Amino acid sequence: MNYIVLDLEWNQSNTGEEPEVKEMPFEIIDIGAIKMNEEKVMIDEFNQLVKPAVYLHMHKITSKIIHLHMRDLRKGNPFTQVAGEFLDWCGKDYIFCTWGPLDLYELQRNLRFYDMEPLSDKPLKFLDVQKLFSIAYEDRKSRRSLEYAIDFLNIEKDIPFHRAFSDAYYTAKVLETLKDDVLENYSIDTFVLPGSREEEIHVMFHDYMKYISREFPDKQIAMEDKEVISTKCYLCHKNIRKTIRWFTPNGKHYYSVAHCPEHGFMKAKIRIRKTEKDSVYVVKTTKFISEEDAGQIAQKREQAKEQQKIKRKMLKNRQQKKKLSD
C-alpha cells in the first residue's frame, strides 16, 4: 500500500464580479501530491495547474496566499484531464493523506460537477496529518498550521509554502515522523454517506468509538432513531443505563452519560451535521470518563436547563408585549 499525500488550492467567486456556483463554491486550480511507499519513503510526485472554467477572476485573497494569477492558470489543463491523470497516477492500493479534513471533500465536489466518479461509493478512510500531528506531539485537540508543525519538528524549509505541491511535500515530511500506532487514528470523509442502516459506520479506536449514520430528513427524526440515541458499552456490548439523559447546550451538540457496571461511566456526544441537500446525518462518539468528568457534564446539563428557562421566559415576555401592543 502507498500513501498519497495530497494538497489542493482552489479559487472562489469574487463578490460583484461573478456569482457563486452553488454546486461548486470552490474550483480547484492546483493539484500537488507526493507518493510514499509503505516505509513512508517518497517515491514519486504529481504537480499540475488546472485551467479555470467556472471562476474566471482570481479572488484577491487567494491570489495573495498562493501567488498565482489567471495568466498562470490559463497555461493549465482542464480539470477533467488533470483529475483523470492524477487518479491514474495514484494507482490502485493507497490511502489519501491531507493536512486537515477539507481537500477530499472539495475534490469530490469538483469531480461531481464534471460528472466524474467519486473517489468511493461509501465514506472514505484517510489520514488527516494535521490531527495526527496533534495526537503525536500535542494535546490531541489543537489544530496547528502546517508551517507551525514544520518549525516544531525542525524540518528544513527549502521551498515556499502555500502552493499545492509544496504543502503536499511538507505534509509528507510531517508524516515521515509519525509512528505506526499514531496512524491508526484515521479519519473518515463523508462526501458519500452510508446509504442504509446496514452501511452505517461503527469504528473502534484506541480509547473511543465513532458512529456515522445514514441521512435523515431533519434533526428531530435523527434524534428519534434508536441507533442514534442508544448508549451501548463498546467493550462488553451491553445496553447500559443513562445517568444523564441526552441534552443540548446549543442545539447542535448533544451529550449523555451512561454507566456500565463493569467499565464505569461512558460519555456520548452527538454532532448533527447538515448535508448539501439540507438533510442531516449524525456523528456520535462514545468514550469512558471518570466519575469527576461525569459530574462536570451534570453541571453543564443544569446550566443548559437554566439557559432554556431564561429563553422561554424572554419569549413569553415578548409575546405578552406583542399582545398588549396589538
CATH code at position 142: 3.30.420.10
Within a domain: 319: no
205 and 159 in a common domain: no
> How does DSSP classify residue 319?
H
Distance CA 171, CA 145 (A): 11
- Pair type for strands 2-11 and 94-98: parallel
C-alpha cell at 159: 521551498
The answer to whether residues 279 and 215 touch, using CB atoms and an 8 Å cutoff, is yes
154 and 240 in a common domain: no
Please give the residue range of the domain that contains residue 174.
Answer: 2-187
273 and 181 in a common domain: no
The answer to whether residues 175 and 129 touch, using CB atoms and an 8 Å cutoff, is yes
Query: Residues 42-65: pLDDT tens digits?
Result: 999 999 999 999 998 888 778 777
Task: Look at residue 130 and tell me whether its pLDDT is greater than 80.
Answer: yes
Any idea which residue has 408585549 for its cell? 321
232 and 147 in a common domain: no
C-alpha cell at 248: 443540548
214 and 126 in a common domain: no
Within a domain: 320: no
199 and 69 in a common domain: no
pLDDT bin (cut points 50, 70, 90) of residue 172 is: very high
Q: Count Cβ neighbours within 10 Å for each residue of 164-197 and write b for 16 or more, e otherwise.
A: bbbbbbbbbbbbbbbeeebbebebbbbbebbeee
Within a domain: 208: yes
Within a domain: 176: yes
Distance CA 33, CA 16 (A): 34
Distance CA 276, CA 280 (A): 9
Residue 171: CA count within 13 A, CB half-sphere: 33
- Report the number of distinct structural domains present in the chain: 2
What distance lies between CA 273 and its chain's CA centroid? 11
Residue 16's beta-bridge partner residues?
Answer: none
What distance lies between CA 111 and its chain's CA centroid? 18
pLDDT bin (cut points 50, 70, 90) of residue 246 is: very high
104 and 238 in a common domain: no
Across the range 138-164, mean pLDDT stands at 93
Query: Residues 250-268: pLDDT tens digits?
Result: 878 999 999 999 999 999 9
Q: What is the pLDDT of residue 15?
A: 64
Across the range 82-87, mean pLDDT stands at 98
Name the domain boundary from 154, 187, 220. Answer: 187
Backbone CA torsion sign across 178, 179, 182, 186: positive
Q: What is the pLDDT of residue 293?
A: 96
Predicted TM-score (pTM) of the model is 0.89
